[in-house]
Structure 1
Amino acid sequence: MPLTALEIQKAKPGEKVVKLSDGGGLQLWITPDGAKRWRLAYRFGGIQKTLAIGVYPAIGLKEAREARDSARRLLADGQDPGLVKKTAKTARAISSATTFAAIAEELLEKKRREDKAPRTLEKVEWLLGLAKPAIGSRPIAEIAATEVLDVLRKVEARGRLETARRMRSTIGEVFRFAIATGRCENDPTGALKGALVTPVARHRAAITEPEEFGGLLRAIATYDGMPETTTALKLLALTFVRPGELRSAEWCEFDLDTAVWAIPAEKMKMRRPHRVPLAPQAVDILKGLRAITGHGSLLFPSVRSPSRCMSENTINAALRRLGFGQEEMTGHGFRAAASSMLNECGRWNPDAIEAQLAHIEGNAVRRAYQRAEFWEERVRMMAWWADQCEEMRGSGVAER
């Protein structure tokens, strides 16, 4: 006799599984823990089988009967309902593993295993996150160039031209990874070259004239903020490393006796270890800083937590406070300033300057030559540069 909704609702568990029949093989199994599960008993190929339909009340009586009727139609057509359900589940799992979001996550995991710089990973993850709401759930093999273009155009419409350009490249990397792993056959981003507005190249703001740079150095000397911030600005001027490399610097990387700062590969943009010769002025500054932060591991700990380094905004905020707008000078601008003046003076081999800037030479033999031949020149160059900074700070004029 068919079940009723009230009968199902009032049914109580027993010491063993209680089975209530609705007819046509449909049963409601009530387990001792009180759970109620729909099951369909059927025979296929002379073998008694059971098909799980779902849990009550998520699957009500009406839905359970519809599932039973669908299974009976499959049986009439010579198909095993259990096998059909298993095949569909496998297909869904495969489909889920081939979505853009799933493959993007695989690519990110690959980059993590390759020990990419944390900042690089953050940027890639952020760019992919902008694309996922629109195409993340789509099977990657079905995504057309027009869909990707629509995602990029929305970013472009907000005035983020450079972000849209980088997104196209990053999305293309996901497609190429999918091609390499056999989950799609083409990269639609290739067809989008020229479809986006080309951003106008903007160089990081930097003061590159000696007289103006001297004014900057004098302003830094009068900075009345945190002493750690003043020190960071002075060291950026003397070492012209990337701001992130300075902010994350640890005392264990410094040998003040030999005047060398050895930056490990994992902190470098190009993932190669880098050595910085320290001029006597830089060593003196570091000795003064050690009295302030030498009790911890970081040279520039955050004011909020000693285990975290200074915020990336601190240096630029200090420059703004000193009166230098973002179109005039940035923390990264110290690199351009040093590079410009070192090259213009004509004293130093351009390759030695590039080596000190940690710009990677593409030729492996040339890289090895740089490491072997330019260290002594770089030591002399960094000492000369520190003397020049002192001269510029004093008079605003330096040797050209």
Structure 2
Amino acid sequence: MLTNIEILALRPRDKSYKVADGLGLYVQVQPTGSILWRFKYRFYGIERKLCFGSFPEVSLKEARALRDEARGKVAAGIDPSAVRRKAKLEAAMAASDTFRAIAHEFIAKMEREGKSEATIKKAIWFRGLLDRDIEHRPISEITPQELLHSIRRVEKRGHHETALRLRSFAGRVFRYAMATVRTDRNPTEVLRGAFTIPKVKRRSAIVEPHLVAELMRSISTYSGRAETRIALQIAAHTFVRPGELRYADWSEFDMGARVWRIPGERMKMGLPHDVPLSDQVIALVESLKAIGNRGRFLFPSSQSFLRPICENTLNYALRRMGYTDDQMTSHGFRALASTRLNEAKMWYPDAIERALAHRETNKVRAAYDRAMHWDERTRMMQWWSDYIDRLREGSKFDPAVVDNRSRGTLAPISSGPVTTLAHFLMG
């Protein structure tokens, strides 16, 4: 059996060599001079080895204790190597099974599934709100009380809608952890009904025709960047979501086919959306080309053409024009178009919903809807552009009167009395 003095006297050679201690324990001397503890044993006739660390970090006495413990497992029919591998795996799993790590995995999965950039950003923000309290906690150990405390911190600041969405996001992370066998429970289920349900606040929008006319005139005379003015005009004519407009890319516009093809990753529902282009929108896009900005974006940032305008640019422009947040927002153009198009009673409701990208999630149904409503949407978008242009110009017309070219094309009214519908639309 070895002694400490004998071990200290061992010197390295060109090749590693072994010196036995007893009962399967030995030291392995490396050419570098390090001395490693090894234990050799047989389990069901198969030779196996364990490493107990290096000398002198692990003393002779400690190495013999580890050997005896391992021999005891073998005698009991337990493979100490398998026990160690399991312990290492559990430790590695524990290190990667924190709430933050699993939330990161879940968000990466959302990206692979083609969720929109806005959805991904919101998920990352939600994760950050929870990080302060539970980011390093193993997900299987997080209690409903911990989650309640963390989300209540947000709710107490008056952010009731955020608190509800935060519980929902945490629930999705826990369901993902259950699906990947990292936990067997979802503590967010216990918290249903725990948080204040806020009153629904609709986004501000101008919908009265005479006010729409003033708004369009204000936009047309906006004194800021030309790109911002044109962005507001295209928002009014196409009523796409602000995030879809901000990232508008030149490659998405097929001017010959008169269509703007927005890819699914930028859409709220994750599905591509085609927007028919009216004569007015085509003219606005051409005017952007004349400005000659470099880069891929129609509306580049004033700081760098590599980035689009910031998310608040259009709202700031509306504020500069004198419209408060309670009067009009960039998202309000959607409510404006939806209200006026539905009130006109000229267009199939499903065509309006498709134009607003309130998308049917069933793919077969969605393809059917596109085939059924594309022609009507094309006519409707031209009608809409004509309508808001005529409002801006101050002309009075009957939107129900059409010329012989296609249904939905505006025509001047006769010199006779204005119809009831015209009175309604013109306010």
TM-score normalised per structure 1: 0.82
**1:39 is aligned to 2:76:** no
| Corresponding residue for residue 152 of structure 1 | 151
> Does the 8 A contact of 1:238 with 1:282 survive in 2?
yes
> Does the 8 A contact of 2:118 with 2:243 survive in 1?
no
**1:264 is aligned to 2:263:** yes
Q: CA, structure 1 residues 31+327, in 2 after alignment: closer, same or farther (shift >3 Å)?
A: farther
Helix, strand or coil at the partner of 1:391: helix
> Does the 8 A contact of 1:168 with 1:189 survive in 2?
yes
Q: CA, structure 1 residues 71+23, in 2 after alignment: closer, same or farther (shift >3 Å)?
A: closer
After TM superposition, give the deviation of residue 30 of structure 1 in Å.
7.4
| Corresponding residue for residue 187 of structure 1 | 186
Q: Distance in 1 between matches of 2:137 and 2:383?
A: 58
Q: Deviations over 1:141-193 (max 9, x none)?
A: 33332222222112222322222211111111122223333443332212211
Q: CA, structure 1 residues 83+184, in 2 after alignment: closer, same or farther (shift >3 Å)?
A: closer
> Does the 8 A contact of 1:236 with 1:246 survive in 2?
yes
| Corresponding residue for residue 220 of structure 1 | 219
| Corresponding residue for residue 347 of structure 2 | 348
| Corresponding residue for residue 306 of structure 1 | 305
> Does the 8 A contact of 2:253 with 2:261 survive in 1?
yes
Q: Which amino acid aligns with 2:355?
A: Q
Q: How many residues matched?
A: 393
Q: Deviations over 1:307-353 (max 9, x none)?
A: 33222222122122222222222111111111112222323222221
| Corresponding residue for residue 382 of structure 1 | 381
Q: Distance in 2 between matches of 1:47 and 1:289?
A: 76
Q: Distance in 1 between matches of 2:334 and 2:13?
A: 78
Helix, strand or coil at the partner of 1:211: helix
Q: Which amino acid aligns with 1:166?
A: R
Gaps spanning 5+ residues in structure 1: where? Answer: none
> Does the 8 A contact of 1:19 with 1:29 survive in 2?
yes
> Does the 8 A contact of 1:215 with 1:396 survive in 2?
no
After TM superposition, give the deviation of residue 384 of structure 1 in Å.
2.1
Q: CA, structure 1 residues 147+389, in 2 after alignment: closer, same or farther (shift >3 Å)?
A: same
Matches within 5 A, 1:93-112: 93-112=92-111
Q: CA, structure 1 residues 202+306, in 2 after alignment: closer, same or farther (shift >3 Å)?
A: same
Q: Which amino acid aligns with 1:39?
A: W
Q: Which amino acid aligns with 1:255?
A: D
Q: CA, structure 1 residues 212+29, in 2 after alignment: closer, same or farther (shift >3 Å)?
A: farther
| Corresponding residue for residue 170 of structure 2 | 171
| Corresponding residue for residue 117 of structure 2 | 118
Q: Distance in 1 between matches of 2:159 and 2:66?
A: 51
Q: Which deviates more, 39-48 or 310-319?
A: 39-48
After TM superposition, give the deviation of residue 25 of structure 1 in Å.
10
Q: Deviations over 1:75-95 (max 9, x none)?
A: 567577655443321221233
State the identity %: 44
Q: Which amino acid aligns with 1:235?
A: I
Helix, strand or coil at the partner of 1:262: strand
| Corresponding residue for residue 409 of structure 2 | none
Matches within 5 A, 1:53-68: 53-54=52-53, 60=57
Gaps spanning 5+ residues in structure 2: where? Answer: 398-421
> Does the 8 A contact of 2:116 with 2:264 survive in 1?
no
| Corresponding residue for residue 278 of structure 1 | 277
Q: CA, structure 1 residues 204+16, in 2 after alignment: closer, same or farther (shift >3 Å)?
A: same
Q: Distance in 2 between matches of 1:24 and 1:325?
A: 85
Helix, strand or coil at the partner of 2:298: coil
